Amino acid sequence: MIITPRVRGFICLTSHPEGCAQNVENQINYVKSKGTIDGPKKVLVIGASTGFGLASRITSAFGSNAATVGVYFEKPSAEGKPGSPGWYNTAAFEQKAQEAGLYAKSINGDAFSDEIKQKTIDLIKADLGQVDLVVYSLASPRRTNPKTGVTHNSALKPIGQTFSNKTVDFHTGNVTEVSIAPANEEDIENTVAVMGGEDWEMWIDEMKKAGVLAEGAVTVAYSYIGPSLTEAVYRKGTIGRAKDHLEATAFTITDKLKDLGGKAYVSVNKALVTQASSAIPVIPLYISLLYKVMKEKGIHEGTIEQIQRLFQDRLYANGEVPTDEQGRIRIDDWEMRDDVQAEVAALWEQANTENLSEIGDLQGYRTDFFNLFGFEVDGVEYEKDVNEVVEVPGLV
Ligand code: NAD
Ligand code: NA
């Protein structure tokens, strides 16, 4: 079939297998170009099919020759409808990894469930024995807690008072004022239940009990802080409470890993266009201004550049892992530079519908958005017929 983008707001209903495969190949080539990392050898990535998780899997495999197990929630093609991008990404990754002689298998299902945790542990036991790195990179709007059976829906709301600021519809470039009413207690609790650290801790508890964590095993989860511009809706909003909880959980897990000589980290990453971040109000406008400033300064990075640097210069740099005073790895250091933030804040003041494509990188935002779904990728012939039915070689 010939596959074209079908966009509805901040999601795209279609995705392109060859474009996704090309994205994965580009990421693999980038990691290889940076040389070998003295990194992990057996890795579990939870949330392995897109965004930071996919980049973590690629960096582990092609930067450090690691065997990888990926867990994700994706859809294969069905009745002439293309599969989801993470399905095609994983198919391409596992094909390349296996061609390179690297072990690569995966499990598709709800990572929050007991069943998928058990299935993953069984696979590790049978094939790898133990893992020395667990990357936790889930982003989801809901979670069913397997112990209580309760389904929690997360909210993206400020806390305490209504938040009003500029936002952009990145398709049209329309800059408008948005007002978001404050969360109630339930919204906060639900968001913490979905995006906080409870499920990360459950994974580590189960894995430790089953003996599938190696001596000195490391686990890392991803967080975000961002500037004062987005603070009310992000870091001091409902999602920020979940990130506070996630960051606190790193200390709890580190305590539990003491006898293994293991450690849990949170890495604070840069704001990037992903399926998760395009859904947050105000953030797309911030990202389009940030991209402009960081590209002009030659310090722009995508997910693969971020994670390659995280592994090479932080987690596996040999020696103490550098962290901030709250124990967090800061790979958002370039985003948060004073000169970058001062320029973004000045542009924010001026930004309107008329000037945004000039003063902001609206085009870069849009291209990244379409790239997530395998569209607008250089070198892909979109007018050509493609087979939307693609097998994931390592799917268990
Ligand atoms: P993403 O949407 O690209 O990736 C989410 C992954 O989780 C996918 O692999 C998806 O299949 C998987 N997933 C979702 N629900 C699942 C479920 N129930 N079971 C199994 N797998 C499931 O998101 P991302 O932007 O890469 O986010 C990953 C982490 O990085 C999140 O914690 C996010 O907050 C954090 N982060 C993101 C940004 C950003 O700007 N995008 C910045 C800093 C930190
Ligand atoms: Na991810």
- Within the chain, residue ranges assigned H as helices are 17-33, 51-64, 85-99, 114-127, 185-195, 198-209, 228-231, 238-257, 283-296, 303-309, 338-350, 356-359, 362-372
Summarize the confidence of residues 21-41 as an average pLDDT. 98
Residues with Cβ within 8 Å of 61's Cβ and at least 6 positions away in sequence, in order, are 43, 68, 93, 97, 100, 102, 104
Confidence of residue 10 (pLDDT cuts 50, 70, 90): confident
Tell me, using a 6 A CB cutoff, whether residue 231 lines ligand 1.
no
Residues with CB under 5 A from ligand 2 (ion): 47, 51-53, 137
Kindly state the percentage of the chain with pLDDT values over 90: 94
Tell me, using a 6 A CB cutoff, whether residue 56 lines ligand 1.
no
Q: Is-above-0.95 flag for pTM?
A: yes
Tell me, using a 6 A CB cutoff, whether residue 139 lines ligand 1.
yes
Tell me, using a 6 A CB cutoff, whether residue 72 lines ligand 1.
yes
For residue 49, the CA-to-ligand 2 centroid distance in Å is: 6
Confidence of residue 79 (pLDDT cuts 50, 70, 90): confident
Strands of 104-108's sheet, edge to edge? 104-108, 67-72, 42-46, 131-136, 213-223, 263-268, 329-330
Confidence of residue 80 (pLDDT cuts 50, 70, 90): confident
Active site includes 88? no
pLDDT digit string, tens, across residues 163-206: 999 999 988 999 999 999 999 999 999 999 999 999 999 999 99
Ligand 1 atom nearest residue 111's Cα: 19
For residue 358, the CA-to-ligand 1 centroid distance in Å is: 31
Kindly state the percentage of the chain with pLDDT values over 70: 100
What is the C-alpha to C-alpha distance for residues 336 and 33, in angstroms, rounded to an integer?
A: 26
Ligand approaching nearest to the C-alpha of 274: 1
Report whether pLDDT(396) > 90: yes
Amino acid 278: pLDDT: 85
| Cα atoms in the 13 Å half-sphere on the side-chain side of 43 | 31
Q: How far is CA 385 from the centre of its chain?
A: 31
Report whether pLDDT(28) > 90: yes
3-state DSSP assignment of residue 277: helix
Summarize the confidence of residues 224-240 as an average pLDDT. 95
Tell me, using a 6 A CB cutoff, whether residue 104 lines ligand 1.
no
Ligand 1 atom nearest residue 74's Cα: 11
Summarize the confidence of residues 71-90 as an average pLDDT. 96
Confidence of residue 279 (pLDDT cuts 50, 70, 90): confident
For residue 305, the CA-to-ligand 1 centroid distance in Å is: 17
Amino acid 394: pLDDT: 97
Active-site residue identified among 224, 234, 265, 365: 234
Amino acid 337: pLDDT: 98
Amino acid 277: pLDDT: 83
For residue 331, the CA-to-ligand 2 centroid distance in Å is: 16
Tell me, using a 6 A CB cutoff, whether residue 301 lines ligand 1.
no
pLDDT digit string, tens, across residues 337-385: 999 999 999 999 999 999 999 999 999 999 999 999 999 999 999 999 9
Report whether pLDDT(275) > 90: no
Ligand approaching nearest to the C-alpha of 140: 1
Q: What is the mean pLDDT of the chain?
A: 96
Amino acid 151: pLDDT: 98
Tell me, using a 6 A CB cutoff, whether residue 144 lines ligand 1.
no
Report whether pLDDT(208) > 90: yes
Amino acid 198: pLDDT: 98
